[in-house]
């Protein structure tokens, strides 16, 4: 066997893996990055980027369809799905080329193939062993399904949904989380009849109940059907379609069933347990510094329990590189990681839900500012609101927003949370007019005791 040594060996080239590789290289470490598929991982090729391209195409379709309300004469002739897919694929291709160029510029040694951890310092790929002073596990996640529900034919996961060459007439989406509501939003904008099935009481159930209810209201107005608080019991398919059964006895016939019940950690078959890495339900257990129980072995991204978000993995990758280089970086606060659902309307949040804030702080104050009072939101003809949660007489500990484009407000929101700002700290800051950021400003003015564009 050939032996190749480096300061750092990384298994997985997704957001967490490549961020770790690039930052480690910047800090003067030699890096081997192992990836069985394409650099960029799920996020770039089968997740964040292509889905958001579809969502933007859907937004253009909606804008065209509703152009007359802005005084513009236009007609939506239809959706050219081949054109949509080309637009999507061109974006992915361009970003992929850029990422490959960055890997070269950072002098990261790229290895293509499936890697197996064989000891605390070594990953083997196709008979070649790569040894590092430290090893990072960054193998990502896969689309889960339910017991007894096999993917195939008319039962698809998000990966297949991204590459459809047709627009279904009827779709059932199993799962009302981020992935489910985003695809529901796309297909509804493209003209499909959509029904979302969610076993928990609300859509986007991990969000504050305020956000869930606002999104549900918007979906009703858009004609997107949803069944919450009811479990899926089975699906049968034939050449013509798929029939979906629920525990309440209802059945739904559709062209496709999208299974969007979450993502599982891609840890099986990589040798982690054989080397003694502590696992829990398939996830890799780490401490707050992302160290596993095996000295010198770290883990990053979707295989570490917590939010399965590309930007979380990205930041964790940077953290690990700086930790290995001896910079002693500050641990990442999971609640301080921004969350965005890019449906129409969008849902964006950072910090704690009201329920979690009450559990942690006992007493909280909240304020909800309706976007009806925000000029730019009225120009965009979007509805929604901004909800703030503060510990009583303390900092803002939760920010929750619903409305078109509110994902662009999350940058300021995460600074407010992560810097433990008081409403009184934010209230004097000047927000440009007319922008949606004013909604954040107005909400903090109100919570600081000096409401302006708010009815008492």
Whole-angstrom Cα distance, residue 364 to residue 88? 44
Whole-angstrom Cα distance, residue 421 to residue 440? 13
User: 400, 433, 444, 455: which is the annotated catalytic residue?
Assistant: 433
Whole-angstrom Cα distance, residue 325 to residue 350? 30
**Residue 35 · residue 110 · CB < 8 Å:** yes
Give residues with Cβ within 8 angstroms of 243, minimum separation 6. 235, 236, 237, 251, 252, 253, 254
Q: At what angle do helices 354-361 and 209-222 cross, to 10 degrees?
A: 180
Is residue 345 reached through a cis peptide bond, with omega within 30 degrees of 0 on the bond before it? yes
Beta bridge mates, 405: none
Element (H, E) at 316: helix 310-324
Beta bridge mates, 172: 195, 257
Residue ranges of E strands in 267-425: 279-280, 283-284, 297-299, 339-341, 346-351, 364-370, 385-391, 396-403
CA separation, residue 304 to residues 38, 160, 281, 299 (Å): 21, 25, 11, 7
Give residues with Cβ within 8 angstroms of 372, minimum separation 6. 378, 383
Backbone angles phi, psi at 262, to 5 degrees: 110, 180
Three-state secondary-structure class, residue 430: coil
Known active-site residue 433? yes
Give residues with Cβ within 8 angstroms of 449, minimum separation 6. none
Whole-angstrom Cα distance, residue 126 to residue 74? 57
Three-state secondary-structure class, residue 34: strand
Token pair, residue 57, equals 């195409």
Element (H, E) at 418: helix 410-418
Element (H, E) at 388: strand 385-391
Catalytic residues: 433
């Amino acid at each position: 066997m050939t032996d190749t040594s480096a300061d750092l060996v990384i298994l997985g080239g997704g957001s967490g893996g490549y961020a770790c590789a690039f930052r480690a290289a910047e800090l003067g470490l030699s890096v081997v990055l192992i990836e069985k598929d394409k650099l960029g991982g799920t996020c770039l090729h089968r997740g964040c980027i292509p889905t958001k391209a579809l969502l933007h195409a859907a937004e253009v379709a909606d804008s065209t369809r509703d152009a007359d309300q802005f005084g513009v004469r236009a007609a939506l002739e239809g959706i050219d799905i081949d054109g949509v897919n080309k637009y999507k694929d061109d974006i992915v291709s361009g970003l992929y080329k850029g990422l490959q160029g960055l890997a070269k510029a950072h002098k990261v040694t790229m290895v293509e193939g499936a890697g197996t951890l064989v000891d605390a310092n070594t990953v083997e790929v196709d008979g070649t062993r790569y040894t590092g002073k430290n090893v990072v596990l960054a193998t990502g996640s896969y689309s889960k399904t339910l017991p007894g529900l096999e993917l195939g034919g008319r039962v698809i996961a998000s990966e297949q949904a991204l590459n459809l060459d047709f627009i279904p007439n009827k779709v059932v989406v199993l799962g009302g989380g981020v992935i489910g509501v985003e695809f529901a939003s796309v297909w509804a904008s493209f003209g499909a009849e959509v029904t979302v099935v969610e076993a928990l009481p609300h859509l986007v159930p991990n969000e504050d109940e305020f956000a869930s209810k606002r999104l549900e209201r918007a979906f009703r107005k858009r004609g997107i059907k949803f069944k919450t608080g009811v479990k899926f019991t089975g699906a049968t398919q034939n050449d013509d379609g798929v029939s979906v059964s629920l525990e309440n006895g209802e059945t739904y016939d559709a062209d496709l069933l999208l299974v969007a019940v979450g993502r599982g950690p891609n840890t099986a078959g990589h040798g982690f347990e054989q080397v003694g890495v502590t696992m829990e339900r398939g996830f890799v257990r780490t401490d707050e510094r992302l160290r596993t129980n095996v000295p010198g072995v770290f883990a990053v991204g979707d295989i570490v329990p917590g939010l399965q978000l590309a930007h979380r993995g990205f930041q964790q990758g940077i953290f690990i590189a700086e930790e290995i280089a001896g910079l002693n970086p500050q641990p990442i606060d999971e609640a301080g990681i921004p969350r965005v659902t890019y449906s129409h309307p969008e849902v964006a949040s950072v910090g704690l839900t009201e329920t979690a804030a009450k559990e942690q702080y006992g007493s909280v104050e909240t304020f909800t500012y309706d976007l009806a009072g925000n000029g730019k939101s009225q120009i965009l003809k979007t509805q929604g609101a901004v909800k703030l949660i503060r510990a009583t007489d303390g900092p803002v500990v939760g920010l929750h927003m619903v409305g078109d484009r509110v994902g662009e407000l999350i940058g300021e929101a995460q600074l407010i949370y992560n810097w433990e700002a008081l409403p009184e700290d934010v209230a004097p800051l000047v927000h440009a007019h007319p922008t949606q950021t004013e909604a954040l400003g107005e909400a903090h003015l109100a919570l600081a005791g000096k409401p302006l564009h708010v009815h008492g």
